[in-house]
Amino acid sequence: MAGQKTRQWVLSNPPAGDPVLSGDNPTFSLETKTLDAPGADQVLLKVLYLSNDPAQRGWIDASADPARLYTAPVTKGDVMRAFGVAEVVESNAASLKKGQLVLATTGWSEYAVLAAKECRPIQPDDKVGIRPTHFIGALGGPGLTAYYGLVDVARTTASDTVVVSGAAGATGSMVVQIAKHIVGCKRVIGIAGGEKKCRWVESLGADVCVDYKSPSFKEDLCKATEGYVEVYFDNVGGEILSLMLQRMKRFGRISACGAVSTYNSLGSSGVQNWFEIIINRIEIKGFIVTDAIEAGKSGEMIQKIVASVKEGKIKIGADSETIVPTAFEDIPKTWCMLFSGGNQGKLVTEIKE
């Protein structure tokens, strides 16, 4: 049987600052390739949805030192790495039937050939509103990241007041809900960009959500954190982190999850107010969700989230995802919405036929 023809987005110029989507030296290039036919225990996948994750920016950075990355970088000429939800269209593996939906590292490709063991079968459940895309969102990496960073890394308990930045993002919106509805935190404060997102974050359970785009942001944040806070879940780094160092209680804990505000910046201004860490004995811990998976904790964590979804406490409705129907040639453009705050909840690329 002839191999499947597919289009693929390849990393052509690792970016130092903003990814470049046009011109002579674009970050990504569109190529067409004929895949090998699937071999023994392999499957041919058709990609339906792509996961857009801020972490992907780290994998392609021009200055990335492979020795320092937690995963191999994507190098020049590689297909851009991404998680995807895909359908098995051809199978040489007993464990995966044609038509099965799977989660896999498909990359930015229309089709992919992978070993069956690299594919995780998923079971959406219409009755409780669990859709295929939830496995790359609330019930996937972002949900797990939220649970692990909040409960394990920051050791958050019900008596804590928690602040989370990027609160309208895939991970942040789950942090808000897990803090409020699973941990039962005293007070949960979100930080997000724009009125609409802030009100949405409050609808998820945040006691208040502060708009970082507002001219009164600094004062609003001070007011929202009067009396200071025990836990800060940081998705953004940069200026908001510098401000939050001044809003931590003595012996407060910061879960350092991401720094999306800085991923595309060259010569950023760095983190200010370091002295607060010393005089207020702040603890900061960086983490990567794969640590939870390797420690065998992910199953239990996802079960707790699913239980809470079924009880109607954690909301994963349509407004918790921004699903962008995208022509294959526009995949990089949709991905870049991550860095302009274009999404509410999980940003998903739905590949248009």
**Is the Cβ–Cβ distance between 182 and 300 less than 8 Å?**
no
> Cβ of residue 203: shortest distance to a second copy, in angstroms?
29
Binding residue (CB under 8 A) for a second copy from 2, 25, 66, 68: 68
Q: Output the six-digit token pair for 76.
A: 């020049």
Binding residue (CB under 8 A) for a second copy from 285, 304, 310, 333: 285
Only one of the segments 9-17, 107-115, 272-280, 298-306 lies at the binding site for a second copy (rule: CB under 8 A); that segment is: 272-280
| Contact string (CB under 8 A) for a second copy, positions 217-246, x = contact | --------------------x---xx---x
> Would you count residue 277 as binding a second copy (CB under 8 A)?
yes
Integer Cα distance of 128 and 77 in angstroms = 42
> Would you count residue 266 as binding a second copy (CB under 8 A)?
no
User: Phi and psi (nearest 5°) for 215?
Assistant: -60, -20
Q: Which of 38, 13, 30 is nearest to 108 (CA)?
A: 30
Integer Cα distance of 119 and 339 in angstroms = 29
Strand bridging mode 120-121 / 101-104:
antiparallel
Number of residues in contact with a second copy under rule CB under 8 A: 37
Binding residue (CB under 8 A) for a second copy from 35, 48, 89, 284: 284
Only one of the segments 40-48, 114-122, 262-270, 330-338 lies at the binding site for a second copy (rule: CB under 8 A); that segment is: 262-270
Integer Cα distance of 204 and 216 in angstroms = 23
Nearer to a second copy, 191 or 198 (CB): 191
Q: Which of 337, 349, 1 is nearest to 169 (CA)?
A: 337
- DSSP assigned state of 280: T
| Contact string (CB under 8 A) for a second copy, positions 72-91, x = contact | --------------------
Nearer to a second copy, 65 or 353 (CB): 65
Q: Which of 348, 346, 349, 350 is nearest to 142 (CA)?
A: 346
Q: Which positions touch a second copy (CB under 8 A)?
A: 58, 65, 68-70, 237, 241-242, 246, 250, 256-259, 262-263, 268-272, 274-288, 291
